[in-house]
Amino acid sequence: MLATLAKLLKVLNSETSPWSLAWGISLGMVLGLTPLFSLHNLLVLFAVLALRINLSFFLISFTVCSGLAYLLDPAFNYAGELLLTSPKLLTTWQALYDLPLARLAQFNHTITLGSVAVALVLLFPVLVMAHFIIINYRTRIQIRISRLPIVNIIKGTKFWSLYQKASQVKKGLSS
Amino acid sequence: MMRIIRWPGVVGFFVLVVVVIVFFALFLDNLVRAGLSSALTRTNRAEVNIEQVELRWSPFAVDIKNLQMTNPEKPTHNRFAANSLRAEVRFWELLIGKIHVEELTATGVQIDHERAQPGKVLAAAEPREKIAVRDRLAEFNIELPTAKSFLEGANIATPALVKEAEEKFNQREQLFSEARKNLPKQEALDNYQARIEAIIDSKPRTPRDLLAAREELNNIKQELRAEKERVDAFLAVSESIVKDTKQDIDEVKATYQADLDRARALFSFDTESLTELSGIMFGAQVEQWAGYALMAFDLIAPLLENAKENEATTPSRWQGRYVDFDTHSSPTLWVKQAQLSMQLEELEFGLAMQNITWQHERINTPTEFQLTTNNAPGWEQFNFNGDLFINNLGQVRGKQQWQLAGVQLHDLELIGSSSLSTAITTALLNSVGSLVINNGDITGQGDLHFTDTDFSVTGEGRVPQYFGQALSRVNTFELNLGLSGRFSSPKFQLRSDLDQQLGTQLNAILSTEVESRLAEVRTSLTSDSNGFMSKAEPWLVQAEALHGQGKSLEEGFAELLKAEVDNLIESESERLLDRLKKKLGNN
C-alpha cells in the first residue's frame, strides 16, 4: 500500500506528461463505471496499453470507479431506460438493433447504455480537470507542501525512504 | 507519432486477448453448463441437472448430454429427462437476450422418470392426497356382515325397545287392575235397576206417594253420583293406559320392521355405492394414460408459464434489462422445430412440436404438436395432435384430440398388493377423446372402450373371490374420462358402466347368502318381540273393552242423574229404562 502510494507520488512529481496522467484517470473511470465485460472496454483497454497513458493512475481510477459503479447502477439503469425509451431515439435504436456489432456492444441493455453515456459525458470534464489539477500541483502545491513541517517529519519515515528508493531506481534506469 | 505508441503495450494487449480467448475456449462449455442449469432451474422451479454441454460454432448449436429436470410436485422423479439434446440456436439473437432455436432434437426422452436422488425444489407444491387402495376398498364393505355381528351392532333397536315396553306394560297392568276396582259390581247395578222399577211400578197418584217416590229417586241419585265419580276415576286412568300401551305396541312393530329393513339393506349390495369401484381399479392406470395424453401440454405449458412469469418480473435496478427494438417483433423464446423421441411402456414415440413460444401473437401461429409411433404392432389407427396459443394478455387456449384403435393389452396390472391384486390378462382397447383449453381452463373427455376382456384376481380373504367371480362375467365395458380444472394441474373424473356390471354380478353372487342371513335376523328379532306382543296385544283388547264398558256406565249414570219422577213415570219412563237396561248389559 505504501509502495503504491510512493509510486503514485513519484509519478506525480516526475516529469511524466500531465496528459498521460489525466487520460489514465479518465479512461480508468470509463472502465470502472461501465460493465467490465463489454465490447467498448476492449477498445479502452487497447488505448490504455497501446498509447503512453499512465497505468498506475489508470488502475487506481478503475478501482475507485468500480466501487462507485456498484452504488450508481440504479442511476445508470434510470439513464439507460430514459434513453432507450425515448421516442426521438427510437429509429436510431432500431437501426442499431440490426447491426451485429451494436448487438455485441449490448447497447439495448439499460445499465450498459446508461453507464457508457454517463462515462462519456464525464470523460472530457474529468480529463481537463485532472490535467488542470496535475499542472497546478506541480507548479504551486508541490513546493508549498515541501515547506510544511509535517513534510519534514514524513521525510524521516519508512515511506519517504521507499519514495527515495523509487526515485533512484528511476534515475538509474534513465541514465 | 511513434513516441505516443507503447509497443510493448500493443503486444501485451494482444497477448491478453489471446489468453482470454484460450480461457473461454477451455472453460466456455462449463460456464454455459452452469448458466443453463441455473436458468432452467429458475424456469422449472426445481433442480435441473446437466451432465455435459458442448458448443458447436457452425452452425451454432448447443449439445446437451443427460438433461434431468426435477418435477417440483414430485421431487423424486424427473418431469423430463433426455439422454441427449441438441439445439441449433441463432447466435445474433442470443446476443440481445433472445433464444431462437431453429431445430431442437432430443433422444432418449423419459417422462416421470425416477431420479437417483430427489431434486431440490424452489417452491414446494402442495402434496396431493392419496388414499391406499385397501382403504378405498374397505369403504365398499364388500365383505358381508354376519347375522350375529349385525344383531350385536348398535343399530338394532328392537330388543332394547321391547325390554323397555315390557317394563312399562307391567306397571300399567297393575295400575289398570287397581283402577278397575272402582267399577260397580253387577249386583249393585241390579239393585239400582230393581229400585227404579219399584218407583215406576208404584205409580204414585197422591202427593204423598209422589213425595215418597221423589225422595227415593233422590236417594238413588245420590248413590249413583258416588258411583259415577268412581267410574270417572277409572276412565281417567284407563284411557291413558290404553292409549300408551297401544302406542308402545305400534312402536315395537315399527321398530321390528325398521330393523329388518336395515338388515336387508346392509346385506344386499347397493349398486349406487359401487360407483367408484372402477375408479379404484383403473384410477392409477387411467391417470397414467391421461398423463401421457397431456404430455405435450405438461412439457410445454408449465415451462412457458414460468418463463413468461420470469420475464414479466420487474427487472432489478441493479441488473438492468434488455429493451426490445425488434421491428419484426420476434418472440423472446422461439423453438421453431422440436423433435423428441421417447420410450413409453415398450413403445417408441416421436413427439414433433412447432413454434414453441409464449408470444404467439408475435408470430400469429400457435404451438402445434403431433405424436407418432413407429413400432406399435396391431394398432389399426393412431392420431394424436393439438395446438396451444398464449395471447398477449397471457390467456392460454388450445385443443387436442386423439383416436386410437386396435390396441391389444396384455397383463396390465390394475391393483397390485398382497391383499388384492387385479390385472387385465387380455383386452382390446379403442379410445377417442378431445380436450379444449380456454383461458387456462381445461375441459375434455376421453372414452376408453374395452372388449374381449379377461381379468385375473388374486389375494387373501373373500373380497378377491367375489371380485374374481364378478369380473369373470364381464366381457365389455366403457371407461369415460373427464378432464377439468387448470391446464397446468388438471383433475380427472372417471365413470364407467363397469361399476353397474360389477354391482349386478356381486348382487347375484351374494343373494343366497343375503337371504339366509336375513332369515336369521328375522328369527332373532321375532323371538325378542314375541314375549311382549303375546301378552300385551290380548290384554289391550280386554282393556279396551273394559274402558268402553266404563264409558257406557258413565253415560247411563249421567242420564239417570238428570231424570225426575214425573218423567220416569210417564212418557220417558219406558225409554229410560230400556236405555239403562242396554247400558247395564241387557239384563
Tell which of A58, A86, A103, A118 to mutate to test the B interface (max B CBs under 10 Å): A103
For B325, which of A74, A78, A97 is closest by C-beta distance?
A97
**Which carries the bigger pLDDT value, residue A99 or residue A161?**
A99
| pLDDT for the residue numbered B131 | 45
Tell which of A97, A101, A112, A116 to mutate to test the B interface (max B CBs under 10 Å): A97
**Closest CA–CA distance from residue A93 to any residue of chain B (Å):** 7
What gap in Å lies between CA B268 and CA B521, rounded to an integer?
Answer: 14
What gap in Å lies between CA B42 and CA B26, rounded to an integer?
Answer: 26
For B325, which of A46, A104, A108 is closest by C-beta distance?
A108
**CB B319 to CB A111 under 8 A?**
yes
Residues paired with residue A140 on neighbouring β-strands, in sequence order: none
CA distances from A144 to A148, A149, A150 (A): 7, 11, 12
DSSP chain A: -HHHHHHHHHHHHSS--HHHHHHHHHHHHHHHHS-SS-HHHHHHHHHHHHBT--HHHHHHHHHHHHHHHHHHHHHHHHHHHHHHT-GGGHHHHHHHHT-HHHHHTTTTBHHHHHHHHHHHHHHHHHHHHHHHHHHHIIIIIHHHHHHSHHHHHHTTSHHHHHHHHHHHHHHHHH-
**How confident is the model over A7-18, as pLDDT tens digits?**
666 666 666 788
**CB B95 to CB A106 under 8 A?**
yes
Answer whether A17 touches B (CB < 8 Å).
Answer: no
Rounded (10°) angle between helices A110-136 and A55-84 = 140
pLDDT at A130 over 90: yes
Tell which of A110, A112, A118 to mutate to test the B interface (max B CBs under 10 Å): A110
Tell which of A46, A48, A92, A116 to mutate to test the B interface (max B CBs under 10 Å): A46
Instruction: Tally Cβ neighbours within 10 Å of residue B158.
Output: 23
Residues paired with residue B60 on neighbouring β-strands, in sequence order: B57
Q: Specify the 3-state DSSP secondary structure of B315.
A: coil
Distance in angstroms between the alpha carbons of the first and the last residue of chain B: 164
Cβ pairs bridging A and B (under 8 Å): 75
Cβ density class B124-149: b for 16+ within 10 Å, e for less:
eeeeeeeeebeebbeebebebeebee
What is the ipTM metric for this complex? 0.77
CA-nearest residue to B7 within chain A is: A50
Q: Are B302 and B73 in contact (CB under 8 A)?
A: no
For B96, which of A49, A103, A111 is closest by C-beta distance?
A103
**CB A108 to CB B317 under 8 A?**
no
CA-nearest residue to A87 within chain B is: B325
Q: Collect all residues of chain B within an 8 Å Cβ-Cβ radius of residue A109.
A: 320-323
**How confident is the model over B216-254, as pLDDT tens digits?**
888 888 888 888 888 888 888 888 898 999 999 999 889
| pLDDT for the residue numbered A123 | 95
Answer whether A48 touches B (CB < 8 Å).
Answer: yes
- Residue A75's pLDDT band (cuts 50, 70, 90): very high
C-alpha cell at A18: 500531465
pLDDT in tens, chain B (587 residues): 557 788 888 998 999 999 988 998 888 888 889 988 988 888 788 899 999 999 888 889 999 999 999 988 888 998 889 999 999 998 888 877 788 999 999 998 888 788 999 999 886 555 544 444 445 555 545 555 566 666 666 567 888 888 888 888 888 888 888 888 878 877 888 888 788 778 777 777 777 777 887 888 888 888 888 888 888 888 888 888 989 999 999 998 898 888 888 777 777 655 555 656 677 777 777 777 777 777 777 767 665 666 666 565 555 667 888 888 877 778 888 999 999 998 777 788 888 999 988 888 888 999 999 988 877 777 888 889 999 888 877 778 889 999 988 888 888 888 776 667 888 889 998 999 999 988 878 898 889 899 999 988 887 777 677 778 888 888 898 888 888 887 767 777 778 888 778 878 877 777 777 777 788 888 888 888 888 888 888 888 888 888 888 888 888 888 777 766 666 665 445 665 566 666 665 44
The torsion region of residue B380 among left (phi > 0), alpha (psi -120 to 50) and beta comes to: alpha
Pairing of strands B333-344, B347-356: antiparallel
For B320, which of A45, A48, A110 is closest by C-beta distance?
A110
Q: Collect all residues of chain A within an 8 Å Cβ-Cβ radius of residue B329.
A: none
Which residues are within 8 A (CB) of B524 and not within 5 positions of it... i.e. 6 or more apart? B147, B151
Answer whether A1 touches B (CB < 8 Å).
Answer: no
**CB A108 to CB B9 under 8 A?**
no
Q: Are B322 and B311 in contact (CB under 8 A)?
A: no
**How confident is the model over A98-109, as pLDDT tens digits?**
888 888 888 889
Q: Are B415 and B421 in contact (CB under 8 A)?
A: yes
Considering only the C-alpha atoms of chain A, give the largest distance between any 2 of them, rounded to a whole number of Å.
Answer: 65
**CB B320 to CB A51 under 8 A?**
no
Q: For the residues A90-97, what does the mean pLDDT come to?
A: 91
CA-nearest residue to A37 within chain B is: B20
Tell which of B11, B94, B319, B325 to mutate to test the A interface (max A CBs under 10 Å): B325
For A52, which of B6, B13, B315 is closest by C-beta distance?
B6
**How confident is the model over A42-73, as pLDDT tens digits?**
999 999 999 989 888 999 999 999 999 989 99
Residues paired with residue B447 on neighbouring β-strands, in sequence order: B432, B480
- Residue A88's pLDDT band (cuts 50, 70, 90): very high
**CB B320 to CB A109 under 8 A?**
yes
**CB B4 to CB A52 under 8 A?**
yes
Phi/psi at B187 (nearest 5 deg)?
A: -60, -40
| pLDDT for the residue numbered B451 | 92
